Structure 1
Amino acid sequence: MRPGDKRPASFWLLAAVFTLFVLFMYGPTFVIFLLSLQGPQGGLTFPMRGVSLHWFRELAQGLGSVDIGAALRRSLALGTAVMLITVVLSVMAGLAFRRGFRGANVLFLTVVASLIMPSIIVSLGIALEFRLIDGWLRQVFAATGWTSQLETFNTSLGLFTSALGAHLTWTLPFGLLIMFAVFNRFNRAYEEAANDLGASPWQRFVHVVLPLIAPSVVGIGMFGFTLSWDEIARTSQAIGSVNTLPLELQGLTTTVTSPAIYALGTVTTLVSFVAIGLALLLAWALRARRRPMRR
């Protein structure tokens, strides 16, 4: 389009549709940010009554019987564990599928099927599976005479057992699909050059393959953490006796009637933004480090 030419009417129509879409997607989040900054007399709706950080201080002191700090730590710990496992397994699976093996198609369809299944069904299935494991463990404790373990044992459902598995059914398919895209455009000439120089398979991976795919690996880590951090449906039935921060937030929506609930929503959203920002910054640094090598 040359300077001075008028844009067609279709451009303005599409621009209006895009603007409405952005407002529909991010408008509620922006409203929550605003309402969380109200003064002590603030309510759940507009107009705002003052501007302060009062409700964030209220949030730090706790919301009734709910320990927000403990829920936050649990979510961070679970998200970090999911991120690390997703990165490791996705890279290993990507390398395995790259070479090919018997049953690769069946395994791929099995992994991707978890994206198709309704999240609540996956959560219920995992919870039922661990209930069966609980029954088997009680039978083992009774048969072996471990009465103390039998008396103290409650359930194997927990943060790093059933909840971790439930989250991995959500994050691993994304990580695997990213690795497929990365290796489909990976230039094997770099590996062949390393072979010619006498590099072992491990040296080839560490010094050649991994630095080249590092930005994508960071992206997988970002997906793993953010998907786990915000997940509710797959966690709801498989978490056991504790709650993550999103579950606490969901429960508080029916009991908390002050802008403190908006402050909590703002904090959880900011954590996601920080994770995304750190991932983008790390990916940019890795790409910038590779540019002199290409020259």
Structure 2
Amino acid sequence: MTSESRGKEFWTLAIFFVLFVLFLYGPLSAILILSFQGPNGGLTFPLNGMSTHWFTNLFEKQAVGDFGGSFRRSLMLGIMVMIVTVVVSLLAGLAFRRKFIGASALFYLAVASLVVPSIIVSLGIGVLFSQLGFQPSWFTSAFGAHLTWTLPFGVLIMFAVFNRFSPAYEEAARDLGATSWQTFAHVVLPMILPSLIGVGLFGFTLSYDEFARTLMTSGTYNTLPLEIYGMTTNVTTPVLYALGTVTTVFSFLVIAGTLGLIVYLNRARARG
């Protein structure tokens, strides 16, 4: 059995992919390395010793910045956005399986926020809250601003999922005497559950690291991206790199855990 030789196109694309990965993760590797500076280390190379001093210092009271509070706010905001994104995207996907008056206009209205500059959306929502006499905050105005970013992606994903979903499964369930709710709960939902988890991951990660749509809507208290940005102008120690490393590792753990759950559900469904 002869193996097919690799052509020039393959090696060209392979080199391009390697360069892309280096471009994507090169800055992260620099932050990771600098976060292990010694106690007397600075913000640039070369390293002045190796230690985990700045990771320990990160969880102590800082003269500038509130890492713990901003992390909790971003985490709670991300979970809130994730839940609403999953529920609304699922309902929209179910609704658009059948044609109704105004469906096209509603679809384009739902995805229109993707083409509007994020800072304009943030400014508009912040001004609207102020004009209505409400104080902008991370759990009200920022929550709404983040939904204008996550919902269009969630809706588009669910449209793609239901576009490939065969109604024959539902018809078979109804032929066996299942009600509409039983058909959804025992047939439709288990089949689309991995995709819903993907929508949830999308919603959480987009919210967790969103900066522009939070800038004018977070109010008095910062979320984590705003806190990190503020610390870049005030913090002059490698504790900033330690913060970047911790938040990056947390993001990768969330993604890895979600992908692992999707793989588990797919294998469980295949066995069933």
TM-score interval w.r.t. the shorter chain?
Answer: over 0.9
Unpaired runs of 5+ residues, structure 1, are: 135-154
- Determine the structure 2 residue equivalent to 1:261: 240
Q: Kindly state the Cα deviation for residue 100 of structure 1 after the two structures are TM-superposed.
A: 2.4
Residues 157 and 163, structure 1, Cα contact 8 Å, conserved in 2: yes
> 1:59-89: CA deviations, max 9, x gaps?
1113314221111110100000000110000
Secondary structure, aligned partner of 2:271: helix
Q: Distance between the aligned counterparts of 2:169 and 2:10, measured in 1?
A: 44
- Determine the structure 2 residue equivalent to 1:146: none
Q: Kindly state the Cα deviation for residue 6 of structure 1 after the two structures are TM-superposed.
A: 5.3
- Determine the structure 1 residue equivalent to 2:66: 67
- 5 Å-filtered alignment, 1:136-285, equals 155-285=134-264
- 5 Å-filtered alignment, 1:108-147, equals 108-134=107-133
- Sequence identity percentage: 59
- Determine the structure 2 residue equivalent to 1:50: 49
Q: Distance between the aligned counterparts of 1:187 and 1:262, measured in 2?
A: 49
TM-score normalized by the length of structure 1: 0.89
Q: Distance between the aligned counterparts of 2:264 and 2:123, measured in 1?
A: 41
- Determine the structure 2 residue equivalent to 1:40: 39
Q: Distance between the aligned counterparts of 1:8 and 1:204, measured in 2?
A: 50
* Greater Rg by CA: 1
Q: Kindly state the Cα deviation for residue 238 of structure 1 after the two structures are TM-superposed.
A: 0.8
> 1:128-160: CA deviations, max 9, x gaps?
1111211xxxxxxxxxxxxxxxxxxxx431122
The range that moved more, 79-88 or 57-66, is 57-66
Residues 226 and 272, structure 1, Cα contact 8 Å, conserved in 2: yes
> 1:99-138: CA deviations, max 9, x gaps?
222211111101111110000000001011111211xxxx
What code does the residue aligned with 1:117 have? V
Q: Distance between the aligned counterparts of 1:6 and 1:41, measured in 2?
A: 53
- Determine the structure 1 residue equivalent to 2:10: 11
Q: Distance between the aligned counterparts of 1:214 and 1:7, measured in 2?
A: 39
The range that moved more, 268-277 or 88-97, is 268-277
- 5 Å-filtered alignment, 1:74-93, equals 74-93=73-92
The range that moved more, 225-234 or 38-47, is 38-47
Q: Per the alignment, do residues 6 and 205 of structure 1 end up closer, same or farther by CA in structure 2, a change over 3 Å counting? A: closer
- Determine the structure 2 residue equivalent to 1:149: none
In the alignment, structure 1 residue 23 sits paired with structure 2 residue 22: yes
Q: Kindly state the Cα deviation for residue 48 of structure 1 after the two structures are TM-superposed.
A: 1.6
Residues 62 and 68, structure 1, Cα contact 8 Å, conserved in 2: no
Q: Distance between the aligned counterparts of 2:214 and 2:131, measured in 1?
A: 18
What code does the residue aligned with 2:158 have? M
Residues 64 and 234, structure 2, Cα contact 8 Å, conserved in 1: no
RMSD: 1.5
Q: Distance between the aligned counterparts of 2:233 and 2:75, measured in 1?
A: 24
Q: Distance between the aligned counterparts of 2:172 and 2:7, measured in 1?
A: 52
Structure 1 runs, 4 residues or longer, greater than 4 Å off = none
The range that moved more, 162-171 or 100-109, is 100-109
What code does the residue aligned with 1:49 have? N
What code does the residue aligned with 2:186 have? H
TM-score normalized by the length of structure 2: 0.96
Residues 34 and 47, structure 2, Cα contact 8 Å, conserved in 1: yes
- 5 Å-filtered alignment, 1:98-113, equals 98-113=97-112
Unpaired runs of 5+ residues, structure 2, are: none
Secondary structure, aligned partner of 2:135: coil
